[in-house]
Chains A and B, each alone.
Chain A
Amino acid sequence: MLKFKITLLLLCLFWKVSAQETAPPWMPMQNCIGLAIGLGTVSWLDKNSSPIDYTSKPKHVRLFYNLEVKSMLFTVDFDIKLGGMRAKHLAQRMVYFQEENYKGKKEDKKFPVGASFLAGKLSFGAYYKMKQSASAEFRVAPGIKLSNEMFYPQGWVSSGLFNAISFSPAANVQHRIDAEHDVTATVSLPVATYLARLAYHNTVSAPNKSLIEGFIRNSAWAGLGRFFSPAAELQYHYQFHNHIGTSLTYGFNYYLIEQSQPMRATSHTFLAGIHNQF
């Protein structure tokens, strides 16, 4: 029995030594698929439809997929933000209707000025991993991002509504702290955007068109001067298992839109995620 235990111990030691010898090379491929959830805040002022600042604290869900090959990193992210929205500096607003029918029945109805906020983004990224030495602690990968982002606040006013299909130069920088911990920063700036906004008159009706078609037809190409939207993201990643890792992400996005009348917005997001690495 003792021999068996010693053999087992030696085997274990040998396995550990082997594992150390075959530890993933720096930088290991990070192919993964995952889910992140979190909260955010979005604030905006859309002068095309209102002089009032709006704010939303949406819940945020992200599905992501990263594929890393020898010299390239490909990413797919699908983000959904969903929540209520309200005027930032105004107390709870109520509208009051006095209704009456021909039978003389009168009814007073009061409703809060409620609204919902929906935003979505689908983005594809392709990054070229710049060559580094085997001992490098940083991986720098410039690239491009193709995104379709939608802001869809639904309320009494259409403040903030837009859809942007954009092409952005981007960069991804990863700092490896140790075998289990790393921090990644990603930045992007759209330089060419196919932007749909409400027109000056703020309506979408058009002959033989659905409302969505009526909205989309008011699309035009916009450069940095009309759609300025830098985005930055900082992610801490902890790989606690060979195949499973977690992450904490902070994201910031600024928007300045000069189509129709100006709109500006800022967005902050905090996400906690889990992913399966393969």
Chain B
Amino acid sequence: MNAIKIYFKRTTIILICCTVLMAAHPPKPTPTENFEYFWKTFDTHYGLFGVKHVNWVDVYNQFKPRVHDSMTDEALYALLSEMITLLNDNHLNLYPTNGDLPAFPGGILRYVNGKLTILKAQEDYDLDVVKKYLTNYHEATGSVRYGILPDNIGYITITSHGDSRKDIQQSMTTILGALKDTRGMIIDVRGDYGGHDAIAQLIAGYFTAEEKLYMITKKKNGPAHDDFTRPEHWTIAPKTKTPYLKPTIVLTSRFTQSAGETFTLALRELSHVKIMGDTTAGSFSDNPTTEMPNGWMFTVSIGDYRDARGKSFEGIGIAPDEFIRTTKEDLLQGKDVALEAALKKFQ
């Protein structure tokens, strides 16, 4: 009887110790577990399989055999990066958190010498070069700046949509007041890396006199590939009694992305607006950040965003009405060829 008691006591102590130790230091997740979690999260949350015509199970079958528990962080990083590159989605980023591997930026793609290449640096826009063309240059907010170009053409450049609604309302009133007597306007979103779509919608409202539908969005609300919320209709509606309705050119580039693109979607619905520049990045959907069991972070596009006619530009981008691109060589010489071409349209 005593032996049973001792046995019972020891077992209990061992069990308690194991529980405490496991709670304090759960086992390190294996590469297989991380891969499975990563793949599954895309399977249940990615909103663009239908648009991209990607069979995600096939992708699993292609990559899974290469995953094993002795693979290094570098090998796992290379494999996961390769896997999400197949989705051709600039909104997909992978952030290893061991401090040695760089963030994988998803990728803004362009054909360079006939080869599809991920662009690492923007080579077609530099605000410092643009400033040489401007007079009365002002910073309305940290991301909205304006001035006057030669021949009395107004200029607004937006680099993100992260300001508050109140700041934007105040700034746009100031800007349109300052530029109301210009002959036309260039809105430069070549360096617009995105932000909040509702802020883009708000700014666009200062350039229209009537309400127009410009975007329809739906987001994932369940694990099946076709589990989506009900569509939401985004309209561009007047935000001031004196909207800017003179000829307007929107300058775009491959780096115009996310809310910069939904802003472009809104403005292209207006008859007094033309788009010039390069095709936009093609990454519209919101992309919240999530994590893997090993602590690495990644983003997932959870929505299906389309224009007013139901067309998706995900992975494609919005093509300009007129293509023109400033090159790296132009910028190094202090010239902005795309801006000059846009200015000529007002002559």
Contact = CB atoms under 8 A, between A and B. Distances in A.
A178 interface: no
Contacts of A100: 120-121
A210 B166 CA distance: 10
Interface in B35-50: 37, 45, 47
Given A157-B297, A207-B233, A214 B198 contact: yes
B150 interface: no
A99 B122 CA distance: 11
A51 B291 contact: yes
Interface in A50-104: 50-52, 87, 89-90, 93-103
Interface string A205-224: 11111110010000000000
Interface stretch (A24-32, A195-203, A241-249): A195-203
A210 B198 contact: yes
B232 A207 contact: yes
Interface stretch (B59-67, B134-142, B219-227, B243-251): B219-227
Nearest to A159: B291
A4 interface: no
Given A52-B291, A97-B102, A156 B297 contact: yes
A113 interface: yes
B97 A113 contact: yes
Contacts of B96: 95-96
A186 interface: no
Interface of B is mostly: loop
A5 interface: no
A113 B198 contact: no
Contacts of A201: 45, 47, 219-221, 229, 286, 288, 302-303
A49 interface: yes
Chain B contact patch, size range? 35 or more
B234 A207 contact: yes
A3 interface: no
A203 B233 contact: no
A102 B121 contact: yes
Interface string A144-162: 0000000000001110000
B165 interface: yes
Contacts, number: 115
A49 B289 CA distance: 8
A110 interface: yes
Nearest to B297: A156
B196 to A, nearest CB: 6
A203 B302 contact: yes
A94 B291 contact: no
Contacts of A157: 288-291, 297
A169 B89 CA distance: 50
A201 B103 CA distance: 23
Interface in A84-130: 87, 89-90, 93-103, 110, 113
B278 to A, nearest CB: 14
A94 B99 contact: yes
A98 B99 CA distance: 12
Contacts of A208: 198, 201-202
Contacts of B201: 207-208
Nearest to B197: A205
A87 B297 contact: no
B334 interface: no
Interface in B291-343: 291-295, 297, 302-303, 328, 331-332
Contact of A205 (B121, B198, B291): B198
Contacts of B126: 102
Contacts of B103: 95-98
B331 to A, nearest CB: 6
Given A95-B97, A199-B219, A87 B295 contact: yes
A113 B26 CA distance: 21
A69 B170 CA distance: 50
A211 to B, nearest CB: 7
Nearest to B28: A89
Interface in B232-270: 232-235
A89 to B, nearest CB: 6
Contacts of A49: 288, 290-291
Give the residue among B198, B233, B293, B328 with the most A Cβ atoms within 10 A: B198
A148 B292 CA distance: 32
A199 B221 contact: yes
Nearest to B196: A205
Closest 10 CB pairs of A and B: A94-B99, A93-B97, A201-B219, A202-B288, A102-B123, A201-B302, A203-B286, A50-B291, A100-B121, A90-B295
Interface of A: 49-52, 87, 89-90, 93-103, 110, 113, 156-158, 199-203, 205-211, 214
11 contacts: A49-B288, A50-B291, A95-B96, A96-B101, A102-B122, A156-B95, A157-B289, A199-B221, A200-B45, A201-B219, A211-B196
Interface of B: 25-26, 37, 45, 47, 95-103, 120-123, 126, 164-165, 196-198, 201-202, 219-222, 229, 232-235, 286, 288-295, 297, 302-303, 328, 331-332
Given A52-B295, A89-B25, A210-B198, 10 more contacts: A50-B290, A89-B26, A90-B97, A95-B96, A95-B99, A102-B126, A156-B291, A201-B302, A205-B198, A207-B235
